[in-house]
Amino acid sequence: MLGLLERRVQRLTQVITCIGFAALLLLAFATVADVVGRGAFGRPLHGVGDLAAVAMAVIVASSLPACFAERRNIGVDLLGNALGRKAARWLDLVGHVVTLVFIAVLAWQLCRYAADIQASGQTTFVLRFSVAPWWWIAAGLAAATVPVQLLVTLRALEAAMLVRATDTGVSHA
């Protein structure tokens, strides 16, 4: 059952990442149009800087769920490799638990920040639209990463528990 859930989560997170990538491409095209308009015609696209400032948080946050679901975050295995397979699996689990706590705290802090921005009524400089919805989306994407990382952590727990007690992975030859 965990495998089916993982496959569905990975598909969903890939869709979210594709939407974020599409937003990044649109922002890149808008930036190019702004530069060309400014340089060639002396007429920039007003508000591109505003869009970039608020969209980047959403674009970056949209990559988080897939990054964690596909285990593409950075890990260091030096100690685990030296101690053997069993120790490596348990150290991997510890790393996943720390990552889970980190992403939960990040999501919580982004929610607090979005609430503060909303309470202050902050708007963009040129276009004057509210900044809060963008930060709420970023916070929501970070919060959606928490159950993804929980699933990854459960898989690491399963892997650690399945390693035989005598299977150290260290060669004594």
In this predicted structure, the answer to whether residue 161 has a pLDDT above a threshold of 90 is yes
Tell me if 168 is assigned to some domain.
Answer: no
Provide the percentage of residues in the chain whose pLDDT is more than 70.
Answer: 92
Q: Is residue 44, in this structure, part of any structural domain at all?
A: yes
Number of domains forming the structure of the chain: 1
Q: Give domain status of residue 172, yes or no.
A: no
Would you say residue 169 lies in a domain?
no
Is 124 in a helix, a strand, or coil? coil
Q: What mean pLDDT is predicted for residues 106-115?
A: 98
Cβ–Cβ under 8 Å, residues 126 and 49? yes
In the predicted model, is pLDDT for residue 77 greater than 80? no
The count of other CB atoms within 10 Å of the CB of residue 12 is: 15
Within-domain flag for 107: yes
Structural tokens at position 42: 């002396």
Tell whether 26 is covered by a domain.
Answer: yes
What pLDDT does 45 receive?
92
The predicted pLDDT at position 163 comes to: 80
Q: How far is CA 56 from the centre of its chain?
A: 12
Dist. CA 65–CA 145, nearest whole Å:
5
Q: What is the mean pLDDT of the chain?
A: 90
User: Strand, coil or helix: what is 123?
Assistant: strand
Question: How far apart, in whole angstroms, are the C-alpha atoms of residue 93 and residue 113?
Answer: 30
Among residues 152, 60, 159, the alpha carbon closest in space to that of 99 is found at 152
Q: Is the pLDDT of residue 165 over 70?
A: no
Q: What was the pLDDT predicted at 173?
A: 42
Range of the domain at 75: 2-162
Q: Which of the four pLDDT bands, split at 50, 70 and 90, describes residue 168?
A: low
Digit-coded pLDDT (tens) for 16-69? 999 999 999 999 999 999 999 999 999 999 999 999 999 999 999 999 999 999
